[in-house]
Structure 1
């Protein structure tokens, strides 16, 4: 893992980093807890949380998407650098910039696709343009009434109903969600894509400034071997 960036050494940077790590730990812990409780209920009491599997799938998807963005931040994504390491510093830096720009284009396309997929579930419109957004389209059928299969709707989340399920309807005709609407678990798609876009922009900025030399983890295996050797030597 690369050394901490200057921003991460500030109080705000440490707070943001701690928050992200806490979210990742919470998602992983919640998945483990729900699975454990379901196993105990199934084998100990011949029952189960009917919504348990679906919740675990949602949390796992959130963990993966959020973790991808976090991986860009701490330069933990794996890659092959056998060829670039043979280049002199100048061409190697150019290759790193090209790599970052390609990642930027890819994540921008991913962000557009994530918004276009999620928007109808929120009662919003998709973007126009085949590759990059050129505006907001019209006439997309709302999918705000789509719900999850088993997850019950928490009462404290009912405040979203006027903005999604009942958008454009008079209050006398409002309906209520019985199950958790898909707009909520799917919201991680545009959020994570936007976060990835931010992290790739930050990585490109660091490469241009010369404080980062690659988009991938550098010599992870060698670093692990050296760390293990140091521990054995101290012991």
Structure 2
């Protein structure tokens, strides 16, 4: 049981993003079916599918960042000696920490402004959808701190994974 819990916790972003994309796909398929075969649509599916898609994108991006799976250009760093490569890695980690932290701060402001704005169909607060931005960048900021500390502690000859 301990291993299962550990696996779920270490991949919770992927699980949330996957669940959201499954719901998105299911709702879109359901609505297509009802429109073409039953000649009626389910009015709320587009809004919920869009919200789930937004969550899947932002939480999926945080998962990719956590696993360092985002596309990066490190050709210049790979040509440098180990100490220079380490310095470049630490600088990049620090810059990403600042950017992600700032976007987290901006997300808080954005959500506070969008809290009173309802969605067009269901009338729920758009903050429920927009909060995916805050969750994603808060996680990314936490991972940025982790990567910075890890890369500072790592020996210059060991690489930067």
TM-score (norm 1): 0.62
2:131 equivalent to 1:187: yes
Candidates 84, 95, 107, aligned match of 1:91: 84
Q: Distance in 1 between matches of 2:141 and 2:107?
A: 12
2:25 equivalent to 1:61: no
Q: Distance in 2 between matches of 1:62 and 1:21?
A: 11
Q: 1:90-130, CA deviations, whole angstroms, 9 ceiling, x for partnerless residues? A: 100100000011101111110111011111344xxxxxxxx
Contact 1:97 1:208 in 2 (8 A): yes
Contact 2:13 2:60 in 1 (8 A): no
Q: Distance in 2 between matches of 1:58 and 1:19?
A: 19
Alignment of 1:13-28 (within 5 A): 13-28=6-21
Contact 1:72 1:203 in 2 (8 A): no
Q: Aligned with 1:147: secondary structure?
A: coil
Contact 2:13 2:62 in 1 (8 A): no
Q: Which has the higher helix share?
A: 2
Q: Which runs of 5+ in 2 are unaligned?
A: none
Alignment of 1:4-153 (within 5 A): 13-122=6-115, 144=116, 146-151=117-122
Q: CA RMSD in A?
A: 1.9
Q: Which runs of 5+ in 1 are unaligned?
A: 1-9, 123-143, 152-178, 215-235
Candidates 141, 145, 153, aligned match of 1:197: 141
Q: Which has the higher strand share?
A: 1
TM-score (norm 2): 0.88
- Higher Rg: 1
Change (3 A) 1:212 1:206: farther
